[in-house]
Amino acid sequence: MVGEIASLHVGSAGCAIGEQLWTQYAIQHGIATTDSDPIIRNEEGFKSSIFEMVDGKDIDYNHFARAVFVDTDSEAITKIKSRSNISKLVHPDNLISGKEGSSDNFVRGYYTVGRDSCRNAVESVRKIVEKCDRLEGFNWFQAFGGGTGSGVAMKLLDELATEYPKLENFFHSVFPSSKYSTSVVETYNFVFGLESLLEKSSVTFVTTNEAMYNYCQNHQVVSNPDLTDINKVLAQFVCTTNACLRFPSQFAGDMKTQTIHLAPSPGCSLVLPAMVEKKHMNIQYMVTKTILSPSHCLAGENLNNGKALSACLHYTGPKIKTSELSRSSKSLREDLNFADECGGGVKVNYTYENVVNGTLSFCCNHSSVVSLLKNQAKKFDLMYGKCNLNIGQ
């Protein structure tokens, strides 16, 4: 039986990523998002992990996303309601906005202005959960630089982890990067939020805007990418990685199985994602020659240095020989320097999709994430030092 998955989009970035993600989901599941879109498949007896079927004669659309979009100000939510092509897919009760933004401040998001938005989001989540037969967990989307993406998201995580302790929490998180920061306090927001994240998330896919920007320039030949291009890249990664949870696939597992594999010990849940689009390359080339290069890593880290704890390889696309995929993953296992104490498996998933080009995504629990954390810690110390000096004067 298919287990359900609910998505939570928090803050401006989380909501904007959600727009791209649900557009791609709708295309893959053949679901209408506008009046002119045809409903291609999945009408009779449709059971999906991410869409709920609604039967009501007075509504135009019969699928709703199992998703809650929440922000402390109204900008991102108004845009989804009025201009987005997913507006019909998300139930209006699940588009939640507050009256006052969190001003890029974790504390305002967690303790003050974010409280109402958080309470409303918990209510919406409860309604979604009640309609599920076997909810597996939550897929989260947020940016740690923002006050809402850090403060409200972590408050909501604290509440939901208490209410639903057995459910998985997969975070798709944009970590601050120096080049694309919109405020100087992004590092503060990140450091304040990190404790809840490490304690309560099952797996966190770490991305940075800088790395995704480079990915767009280098591999999608977009000369001057904007945030929408970046969000499309992240949506494509997520669609590839969780295709095995949405469609029948070879070697599939549920969210729990993925957690056990990717985050074998508690607190050790930060995972580096990478992606390659098939285009003209063959699978073997994609797996063995390109996937480990820093330009394919969506956090910009070099997976050739340091040690790996575990890894997953997901392929969605036209038919391929699965033996070829398994063989290539074996050589990938040899290229990755697995820590001695780990079994060192590369889990492989293949989901058939009727498209011309396929996508390969790679998730690796890898020690090079430490350098990303060290950079943030260094920035935090520098700012904190300055702050102390100012107080002293």
| Six-digit token string for 10 | 């928090």
| Six-digit token string for 143 | 């940016």
Q: Contact 263/366 with Cβ under 8 angstroms?
A: no
65 sits in which H/E element: strand 63-65
Which segment (57-65, 144-152, 239-247, 308-316) binds ligand GDP by CB under 6 A?
A: 144-152
Residue partners of 58: CB distance under 8 A and separation at least 6: none
Q: For residue 71, how many other CB atoms are within 10 A of its CB?
A: 29
Residue partners of 95: CB distance under 8 A and separation at least 6: 69, 77, 80, 81
Taking CB under 6 A as the criterion, which residues in 231-250 touch ligand GDP? 231
How far, in Å, CA of 199 to CA of 157, rounded?
10
Q: Whose Cβ is closer to ligand GDP: residue 51's or residue 237's?
A: 237
Can residue 147 be called a binding residue for ligand GDP (CB under 6 A)? yes
Q: Contact 388/193 with Cβ under 8 angstroms?
A: no
Can residue 180 be called a binding residue for ligand GDP (CB under 6 A)? yes
Q: Whose Cβ is closer to Mg ion: residue 12's or residue 214's?
A: 12
CB of 154 to ligand GDP, least distance (A): 11
Taking CB under 6 A as the criterion, which residues in 66-85 touch ligand GDP? 71
**In the beta sheet, which residues pair with residue 37?**
none
Among 182, 284, 305, 371, interactor with ligand GDP by CB under 6 A: 182
Can residue 193 be called a binding residue for ligand GDP (CB under 6 A)? no
Can residue 51 be called a binding residue for ligand GDP (CB under 6 A)? no
CB of 236 to ligand GDP, least distance (A): 13
Q: Contact 358/166 with Cβ under 8 angstroms?
A: no
Taking CB under 6 A as the criterion, which residues in 307-366 touch ligand GDP? none
Per-residue x/- track, 6-45, ligand GDP (CB under 6 A):
-----xxx--xx----------------------------
Chain residues in the site for ligand GDP (CB under 6 A) = 11-13, 16-17, 71, 102, 104, 143, 145-149, 174, 176, 180-182, 186, 209, 227, 230-231
